[in-house]
Amino acid sequence: MANCIRCGRQLPGFSFGKKICQWCVQHEAYQRGEIVEDAKQPVMRTPWVRHGESSISVTHVIFGINAAVFLGMVLGSGDPAAFANPMHQFPIQESIEWGANAGQLTLAGEWWRLLTNVFVHASLLHIGFNMWCLWNLGELCESLYGRWTYAAIYLMCGLGASLTSATWNPDRPSVGASGAIFGLAGALIAAFKLGEFSVPRSALSGTLRSLGAFVFYNLIFGFLPGIDNAAHIGGLITGLIVGALIALVAPHSDQPLRRVAIFIAMTLALAGVAVGAAHYRKSSFMDRQPGGGIAQLEKIVKQRPDFIPGHLSLAQAYFTQGEYARAENELKRVLELDPKHAGARTLLGMVYLNESVCKMRRKRSTRC
């Protein structure tokens, strides 16, 4: 972070191009007579000072967890290209093993993936950009909300982002902290807009402009291939809701019970959405109709052997029934017809992963 050229304080995150902090700007305005002498100035805990707290912040802890997981993936893969080439991405199956948010698995009951994927990244460039954003937004958010509230907001936004991604793109695994980081931006926008923190007007408008630019440009970039914009939007909306509720119901840090109630209510709301999404996903599979769904699909692909959606739907039906060998055959047929079909590649990786788990269980004489 840059420092103010007047007083030496650290400038808040996303203060690109600025050289003077907002407090020095206000002081100079007072000296010029632009602010009346008896104007009330609320005391605000400054973002660059921590009172009586450890030098290790929650942002540092989150940063360390992400770095440790990425290092573990590099060492586990034994592929030095993960460090040598910033654009090198881990295989889909490996990301799934480390906790990627694969909608087919998540909505089938592996709910822990909604959280673990927030700490998994696909490449060195991916984790580098996300951690840079986290360092700036996280430090600002933590200094304003306090440690435990900030940690709860981060995790809540990560869950909201992951749930949106799993529901919107169930056939594409998702990893990364960007959804949770978008949530932090949303929480800050809601907080500043609703007046939770008392800051000078110049500082408020500048911070809102920076946050708005961050959200706008990253959402635009999110439409590029390979970027999960559903997670970004889900995290942003979750952050806006959480930030607004805190600003309206529990704006002060000495109201812990109110804040706990907010997070409990948000958790229940997200759980309800998750159950609803899983139920919808479950009921949408034709194979849930005893025997009839799979039989109908088998009839369709027999009549139309080049019909890709039919083979893919049949593979999904076999997958949910645990018939992995049959699912594998159907997916290979899809890839013969369309070698670049991303959904088929993703589901095939899940099939291989489940087949390996079943083999291990058979060796231990347990039911697959």
* DSSP per position, 98-134: TT-B-HHHHTTT-TTHHHHGGG--SSHHHHHHHHHHH
Our CA angle for 36, 21, 133, nearest 5°, is 140
**Beta bridge partner(s), residue 174:** 101
From first to last of its 368 residues, the chain has per-residue pLDDT tens of 555 655 555 566 555 555 666 766 776 776 677 766 555 544 444 544 454 555 788 999 999 999 999 999 988 877 766 666 777 788 877 888 888 888 777 887 788 999 999 999 988 888 998 898 898 888 888 888 889 999 999 999 999 999 999 888 877 788 999 999 999 999 988 888 886 455 555 555 666 677 777 787 777 776 776 678 889 999 999 999 999 999 999 888 788 899 999 999 999 999 999 888 887 766 654 444 444 467 767 877 887 788 787 788 788 888 877 888 888 999 998 899 888 887 788 888 888 888 777 777 666 655 55
In a domain, 315, yes or no: yes
Backbone angles phi, psi at 364, to 5 degrees: -95, 5
In a domain, 49, yes or no: no
Spatial neighbors of 281 by CB under 8 A, at least 6 apart, are: 103, 107, 167, 170
Both 212 and 324 in a single domain? Answer: no
Residue 288 is predicted with a pLDDT of 44
Both 296 and 277 in a single domain? Answer: no
Residue 241 is predicted with a pLDDT of 95
User: Using CA atoms, how far apart are residues 327 and 320, in angstroms rounded to an integer?
Assistant: 9
In a domain, 354, yes or no: yes
* DSSP per position, 305-347: TT-HHHHHHHHHHHHHHT-HHHHHHHHHHHHHH-TT-HHHHHH
Residue 319 is predicted with a pLDDT of 84
CATH code, domain carrying 84: 1.20.1540.10
To the query of whether residue 123 is one of the catalytic residues in this protein, the response is: no
**Beta bridge partner(s), residue 101:** 174
In angstroms, how far is the first alpha carbon of the chain from the final one? Answer: 52
Residue 291 is predicted with a pLDDT of 46
The DSSP call for residue 286 is G
Both 65 and 35 in a single domain? Answer: no
Question: Which residue matches tokens 């907080």?
Answer: 191
Choice among 162, 178, 210, 313 that is catalytic: 178
Last residue of a domain, one of 250, 282, 314: 282
Residue 87 is predicted with a pLDDT of 73
Both 231 and 334 in a single domain? Answer: no
Both 85 and 162 in a single domain? Answer: yes
To the query of whether residue 232 is one of the catalytic residues in this protein, the response is: yes
Residue range 287-303, pLDDT digits in tens: 444 444 677 678 778 87
Residue type, 46: T
Residue range 202-249, pLDDT digits in tens: 555 666 677 777 787 777 776 776 678 889 999 999 999 999 999 999
The CA radius of gyration of the chain, in Å to the nearest whole number, is 24
Both 272 and 301 in a single domain? Answer: no
Last residue of a domain, one of 236, 263, 282: 282
User: Per the structure block, which two tokens stand in for 166?
Assistant: 């799993």
User: Using CA atoms, how far apart are residues 283 and 253, in angstroms rounded to an integer?
Assistant: 44
Helix intervals (H) in 119-197: 124-145, 147-168, 178-193
pTM: 0.68
Residue 353 is predicted with a pLDDT of 80
Both 277 and 304 in a single domain? Answer: no
Both 218 and 336 in a single domain? Answer: no
The domain tally of the chain equals 3
Last residue of a domain, one of 240, 266, 282: 282
Residue 115 is predicted with a pLDDT of 94
User: Using CA atoms, how far apart are residues 130 and 253, in angstroms rounded to an integer?
Assistant: 28
Domain extent for 210:
58-282
Both 208 and 115 in a single domain? Answer: yes
Residue 68 is predicted with a pLDDT of 95
Choice among 143, 162, 210, 232 that is catalytic: 232
Spatial neighbors of 270 by CB under 8 A, at least 6 apart, are: 156, 159, 160, 163, 238
Both 200 and 301 in a single domain? Answer: no
User: Using CA atoms, how far apart are residues 158 and 231, in angstroms rounded to an integer?
Assistant: 8
